[in-house]
Chain A
């Protein structure tokens, strides 16, 4: 059984640029959630995708957007990057909208 994978592992971007992060869900899982984790903090919920549709969103501005594909993999897109967007971005998959979530290793984004 393949776990949740994310790419890239690390990324450095300049303020104002755009970034795309990718996530492959665990085998058999149809729901993907994205979280942002600042240093020393707990993860914060960005949004969830279930069967290719957004199914819940946290307190993040519209420049944070996402997609889910027919194979249940997902992308997180962030436009107009700000310095405060520097964080570990975590993807978690679950077998349904309310199942236990299993996290990937994360993508470390640094905005300079």
Chain B
């Protein structure tokens, strides 16, 4: 069964303290790995798509990387406004856009 696991469940950082979030996946055939940011009570906001092992993408303080078994979201020198839940999702192929999500990592950045 296709599965996505995110760790840690929650992470508390001081402003400027860099860290990484992990997303490990077990799927029959990866057709894309997606990172989203979700603020409380809001819809997920698209961040990155990664398609193949070795691929990296960056946006401001965020950098996403992909291997054959997992993805990392690196946060460099975070600010309080980076506080949110970060969701990882995979698409496993076929003619649908079904995404399988992990349960997310709740990030809190303290000033």
Residues of A in contact with B (beta carbons under 8 Å apart):
4, 6, 31, 33, 35, 40-45, 48, 55-56, 58, 88, 90, 92, 94, 97-106, 108
Instruction: Give bound CA distance, A108 to B46, whole Å.
Output: 20
Contacts A42-B103, A98-B91, A105-B43 given; does A58 touch B98 at CB 8 Å: yes
B54 at interface by CB-CB < 8 Å: no
Contacts A42-B87, A101-B46, A105-B42 given; does A56 touch B99 at CB 8 Å: no
CB neighbours of A98 from chain B (8 A) = 31, 91, 95-97
Name 20 interchain pairs, CB-CB below 8 A, sorted by A: A6-B43, A31-B97, A33-B98, A35-B99, A42-B4, A45-B99, A48-B96, A48-B97, A48-B98, A55-B95, A56-B95, A56-B97, A97-B95, A98-B31, A100-B34, A100-B46, A100-B49, A101-B99, A103-B36, A104-B43
Q: For B44, B94, B95, which residue has the most chain A Cβ atoms within 10 angstroms?
A: B44
Q: For A31, A55, A98, which residue has the most chain B Cβ atoms within 10 angstroms?
A: A98
Contacts A90-B43, A103-B44, A104-B43 given; does A43 touch B101 at CB 8 Å: yes
Chain B interface size band reads: 20 to 34
Contacts A100-B34, A100-B49 given; does A43 touch B44 at CB 8 Å: yes
Q: Are B98 and A56 in contact (CB under 8 A)?
A: yes
Instruction: Give bound CA distance, A40 to B100, whole Å.
Output: 15
